[in-house]
Amino acid sequence: MSTQQSEATGLRTLTFGQSINRGLRAALAEDDKVLVMGEDVGTLGGVFRITDGLQKEFGAQRVLDSPLAESGIVGTAVGLAYRGFRPVVEIQFDGFVYPAFDQIVSQVAKLRYRTRGHVAMPLTIRIPFGGGIGSPEHHSESPEAYFAHTAGLRVVSPSNPQDAYTMIRQSIACDDPVIFFEPKRRYHEKAEVDLEAEADLPLGAARVVVPGDQVTLIAYGPLVKTAIDAATAAADEGVSVEVIDVRSLSPVDFGPLEASVRKTGRVVITHEAGQFAGLGAELAASLTERCFYHLEQPPVRVTGFDIPYPPSKLEQHHLPDLDRILDGVDSVLERTSSLNGAAAGPSAARQGGDA
C-alpha cells in the first residue's frame, strides 16, 4: 500500500509506544475533561517518551508534571475523577506503584460500590510492567495479580500496537477505574495501526490470535509474541497450538478460553510473574472447574520463578522463553521433555515456581 493510500485510510506504521501516545492524543483532543498526570510526563515526555509532545500540544494545565509522590498522584486523580474529570496517571515503573497501592485498593477500587454507583471513577492508571530491558528489581516486576485480585478494578494489558491504541482509548472512556499494564519490552516493536478503525473487541474481551486444535496456549502482555513464536515452532514439528491473548486480566473473558480447552483438551498458561498465586493459578483452577471432563492432562503453568526479580544478567533465565513454553507444550502432549529429557507428563517438568 502506498503512503498516500495509508494516509487516506488512517493506517500508520507505529511502535507500541507511539500507538499509546496517539491514543492519549486522540482522547485529549476529543474530551476537555481528559488530563494526563505523572512524574516527568510533561516537559520530558515520560521516562519512556510515551507522552512526548502532549504538553506542548495541550498545555501544562492538561498534561501535568507531578511531584515524586505516587500516593499523592493517585489521590489527586481520585478527587479529579470524583469531580467529573477523566485523569490518566502514569506510574514510571511497575515497582514504583506500591506507595500508591493503598489509594488504589482502598479508594479507587471501592468508590463506585461505596456510593451505590452514584459516583463514577473514570481513572486510568498506566503502568509499564515486566522485564526484558536489562533493569533490576522495581523496574521489571509483574504486579498484576495484586490488582486482578481487587474487586472494583478493571485490569488490562495490550500485546500489540493496534490494541495499545484502541485499548488506551477504551480505558479512558470507561467509567470504571482501569489498571493499564504496558509491556515495556514491546515499546519499540512496530506494526501497522489503523487510527480510524473502530475497536473490533470490547475492552474486556479475549482474542484467539493463532488458531489450533491440539494445545491451548494462554498468554497476555509481553509473552503473547513469545507464545505466537512458540506456536510457529510447534507447527514445524506438526503440533497445532491455539494461542489466546487474554487482554483483560480482570474480569477474564472465559468464553474463548473454555471453547478452546473443550476443543484441545490440553492447556498451557504462561506469564512473567511468579507462579504461586499468580494469574495462571486462577486461570488453571477456573478452567479445570469449567472444563474438567474435557481435559486430557492437568494444566501446565510456564512462569517466572518465585523470587525477587533477579539481576539483569540473569533475567533471561527467569523469564519464560520459547524453549520453556515449548517444553510446557511437550509436557501436556505427554512427549519427552525437550529441555531435560525427562519422562512425559506435567509433573515431570518444572516450569516456574521455586528457583
**pLDDT tens, 212-234?**
999 999 999 999 999 999 999 99
- pLDDT higher than 50, residue 23: yes
- pLDDT higher than 70, residue 184: yes
Candidates 118, 138, 139, 318; catalytic one: 139
How far, in Å, CA of 122 to CA of 87, rounded? 7
pTM, full prediction: 0.94
| Res 355: pLDDT | 64
Task: Compute CA distances 1 → 4, 84, 134, 193, 297, whole Å.
Answer: 8, 43, 37, 13, 46
pLDDT tens track for 123-135: 999 999 999 999 9
| Res 4: pLDDT | 46
Choice between 79 and 344, residue whose per-residue pLDDT is larger: 79
How far, in Å, CA of 281 to CA of 134, rounded? 27
Place of cell 477523566: 86
Neighbouring-strand partners of residue 217: 243, 268
Buried b / exposed e across 191-202, counting CB within 10 Å, b at 16+?
Answer: eebebeeeeeee
- pLDDT higher than 50, residue 285: yes
| Res 348: pLDDT | 47
pLDDT tens track for 76-122: 999 999 999 999 999 999 999 999 999 999 999 999 999 999 999 99
| Res 345: pLDDT | 58
Q: Is 138 marked active-site? A: no
